[in-house]
Each structure stands twice: as C-alpha cells, then as structure tokens.
Amino acid sequence: MNPELAAIAYLLAASLFIVGLKQLGSARTARRGNQLAAIGMLIAIVVTLADRDIVSYGVILAGLVVGGSIGAILARRIEMTSMPQLVAAFNGFGGGASALVAAAEFLKGVDLPLETDISISLSTAIGAVTLTGSFVAFGKLQGIIAGRPVTYPGQRVIDVAIAAGVVAAAIWTVVSGSSLAFWTLAATASILGIARTLPIGGADMPVVVAFLNSMSGIAASAAGFVIGSNALIISGALVGAAGLILTSTMSKGMNRSLANVLFSAFGAQAESQGVAGSTEDKPVRSVTVDDVAVTLAYADSVIVVPGYGLAVAQAQHAMRELADQLEARGVQVRYAIHPVAGRMPGHMNVLLAEADVPYEMLLDLDEINDDFDQTDVSLVVGANDVVNPTARDDSSSPIYGMPILNVDRARNAVVIKRSLSPGFAGIDNPLFYEDDTLMLFADAKSALEALSKAVRDA
C-alpha cells in the first residue's frame, strides 16, 4: 500500500479511538464508542498487514490466531467477579507486547540512531515493569499471592538500588548498543515491576490497576517512537491520559496521593499491630436473619452499601433478589457506591449490572451521602473501611480524611459480615459497636438468600 494512503488510514484509526473514548464516557453511547474504537483497530491492523515491507506472514498469522483465540475465550468465559484480574492481565500483555517490539527492533538493529536506542530502552523498561507489575497485581487479585503488603527490612534501599540498576542499564544500552546491556535492562526492569507491586495491599488495587493501565499506554507510545509510528504514539498517549485520570480519581477516593499508595505499603503496619484494643470488649448487637428481615421489610427506605465482600461471595444476584422483594413491598431501595469499593475502578457497578440492577439505582458518594439522614436502614454488605466513621471523626485514625459513606447516620445500620475482623486497613470499625447497628454474622450470599425468603414471608 502506498505510504500516504497508509498514513491516512492510521489517522482515521486514531480519530476513531478519540471519538470512541469520548463516547465511552457516557452511558447512552458507551457501547457504540467501544465498537468504533474496535473498528479503528481493525483498520490499523489491516493497513499494517498490507505493508509492502512484510515478507513473511507465517509468524504474524500464528500470533493473530493464537492471541485472538485466547482473547476471545477469556472475554467470553470470565466471571464478572474476576474482572479486576482480567484487566490486570490485559494491562500486562499490552506492556509485554511493547517491550517485545522494542526487543525485536533492537535485535535487528545495526548502527541504530541514538534516538531509536533511547526509545528502545524506554519502551523496554516501561513495558517490562508493566508486564511484571501487572502479573503481581493479577496474582494478588486472584489470591495466588498474599493480598497483604509484602514488606521486608531494607526494602526501600533495595528498591532504590533496583531502580538505579534500570537507569544504569538503560544508559549502558544506549551508549554501547550491546546485547548484554539490553537484556540486563529487560531483567532489571522486570524485577523492579515485581518489587514495587509486592508491597502494595489488596485494597489499594483500584489505584494500581488504573496506574498500570496508564503505563501500558505509555509503553505503546514508546514503542511508537521505536518504529516511528504516529498511530502508536497517539493511541498510547490517549490511554496514558485516561489511565492517569482514573488513577487520580481513585487516589482521591482514598484521600491519598498516588505516591503514598505506591510507596507506603499501607495496611502492613496496622496488620502487625492487630485489632486496636480500645473497642475489643465492647458488646455488639448480633442478630438473626429474621430480625433483619423484619427491620428491612417494614422500612420505607433502604440504602445498600456493597463492598469487596459482595464480589468474593458472588452475592450480586442474591442482593438483587432481596432488593426485588423489598421493592415489591414498596420499600425504596438504592445502592451507594464508594469510588474505591472493590478491587478496581467501577467494580461494584459491573457486578450489579451483571445482576440486572438498573444503573439509575446506583448512586455515587456525593449524590447519596446526605440522604442517609433520612433513611431507615443502611445495609452494608461486605464493605468495611469505606463505612468507618473514624475516617470522618477521628483525626488520629490512619484513614482519617478518606471520604466515607455515612451509613451510621441512617436510623439503623445492618452489617452483613463473616466476623468482627477488621478490614484491609486493619482498623477497628466503631460502626459495628453502635446501638443502632445490627450485626448479622454470615456469608453474604447465604445471608442475602435467607433474607429474601424471610422478607417474602414477613
């Protein structure tokens, strides 16, 4: 294909990505936006396949068939509860592919210009960090690796040394162009991705997944500099920007800076201290399914606060079933979604959408937080730190300043939880000990199913 025509086709693809992303930002047009972006990608791939520099198609076809089958199967089979892992893995694949493009270009290279060497080093380093970082995140989300922060003495110093090693290997690669330098760079960057993700705890994963998403975009941009393609540079920059916006939204949801999330190993210390002793001996109001059913059935309004526990218990369908029962009795039911509930941005929305909960019933923290005052029952299912009043009231709390849902301001709070164990942050939750709080100690799914039945019979 003639190069001008190809360039115009790439421009068309990039434009479709921009329009597609724009439309992904609104519920009405989101699906079409995703389809437009997919069409843009198809155009880019077809144009590239028609490139006259391509001499052999065997390897390409093999890669397309294998990758396409794996991707399609994953996309069709994945449980919505496992979506955070899948997104983490996809981030890693994108970063890995960009690093491999740089590696292949480096192998081919005889007397590469300086700027290409620099781009290759950047693309390799960013891509490799994204690859290994994403797979540690995947492991934590999947439960293969412990979700708590992994820390050890001298970690800071070792991490700085690894980072310095990456920079040194990159300079060495650019200056010498030797293969040994290049593979050292790839190895140190891979180690850095692992070392930097291990100390980040499970509840901080929404920030990490969004950040790695941004990194996968930057890696694609860097690969664009390597092969001299504006299409890659533009698309990668768009994704990098989108990921950064989400990262900052998530950090704000926890009232912490990105640096704090990435470097503080939050939750490690609290865990080693165990549960704060001050409230340990206080009584809680432990109640039965029937007590809760009556409380819910005779309420006028209920606000449900779902958390990661809902996802773990796969209880989204049971939740909707209960909400249907309550609505049939004339109870107003709404859902309050904290920005960092779950393990990735928007996790709860996806789960509840899978259970056919209309999205109008899902309200953000800002929209609904003032309504708790006039609500009869707030029903907390598998959430903990995002409803901890110390974040609002106690300036000595480690999570002080994090925006929380004011469930304690409803007439009654019902908390469905397996035990009194503290949440991820390791901080005891005074909500559980309040007089108006009913604690139902059970697995979320079986409790919700039992509640549906009891409400129907009430």
Partner 1 sequence: MTLIIGITVFVLAAFIGFEVIAKVPPQLHTPLMSGSNAISGITIVGAIVVSGRGGGTLAAVLGFLAVALATINVVGGFLVTDRMLEMFKGRPSGGGKT
Of 115-174, binders to partner 1 (CB under 8 A) are 115
- Stretch in the footprint of partner 1 (CB under 8 A) among 41-49, 152-160, 296-304, 436-444: 41-49
Three-state secondary structure call for residue 276: coil
Q: Does 372 bind partner 1 (CB under 8 A)?
A: no
Cite the DSSP H helix spans in 255-315.
258-263, 268-273, 289-297, 308-312
Q: Which is nearer to partner 1, 231 or 313 (CB)?
A: 231
Contact yes or no for 436/413 (Cβ under 8 A): yes
Total residues in contact with partner 1, by rule CB under 8 A: 117
Interaction between residue 76 and partner 1 (CB under 8 A): yes
Q: Which of 81, 85, 105, 292 binds partner 1 (CB under 8 A)?
A: 105
Q: In this chain, which of 1, 12, 34, 276 binds partner 1, going by CB under 8 A?
A: 34
Quick one: 239 or 292, whose CB is closer to partner 1?
Answer: 239
> Of the listed pieces 140-148, 154-162, 238-246, 404-412, which binds partner 1 according to CB under 8 A?
238-246
Please report whether residue 208 would count as binding partner 1 according to CB under 8 A: no
Q: Contact, 415 vs 439, CB < 8 A?
A: yes
- Residue 319 as a binder of partner 1 (CB under 8 A): the answer is no
Geometric angle at alpha carbon 281, from 279 and 283, rounded to 5°:
95
The two structure tokens encoding residue 355? 């259970």
Tokens encoding 458: 């009430």
Of the candidates 117, 204, 385, 428, the residue annotated as catalytic is: 385
Judge whether 385 counts as a catalytic residue: yes
Structure tokens at 69: 């089958």
Q: Which of 5, 8, 57, 164 binds partner 1 (CB under 8 A)?
A: 57
Closest by CA position to 293, among listed 101, 185, 438, 431: 438
Residue type for position 341: A
The angle, 0 to 180 degrees and rounded to 10, between the axes of the packed helices 155-176 and 179-197 is: 160
* Residue of the chain from 296, 362, 368, 439 that contacts partner 1 (CB under 8 A): 362
Strand segments, DSSP code E, in 235-383 are 285-286, 301-306, 332-337, 362-364, 377-381
First to last CA, the chain: 72
Please say which residue, 177 or 346, places its beta carbon nearer to partner 1. 346
Q: Give the up-direction half-sphere exposure of residue 205: CA atoms within 13 A in the CB hemisphere.
A: 32
Contact status: 111 vs partner 1 (CB under 8 A): no
**Residue 238 within binding range of partner 1, rule CB under 8 A:** yes
Closest approach, Cβ 214 to partner 1, in A, equals 9
CB of 389 to partner 1, least distance (A): 22
- Residue 254 binding partner 1, by CB under 8 A: no
Catalytic residues: 385
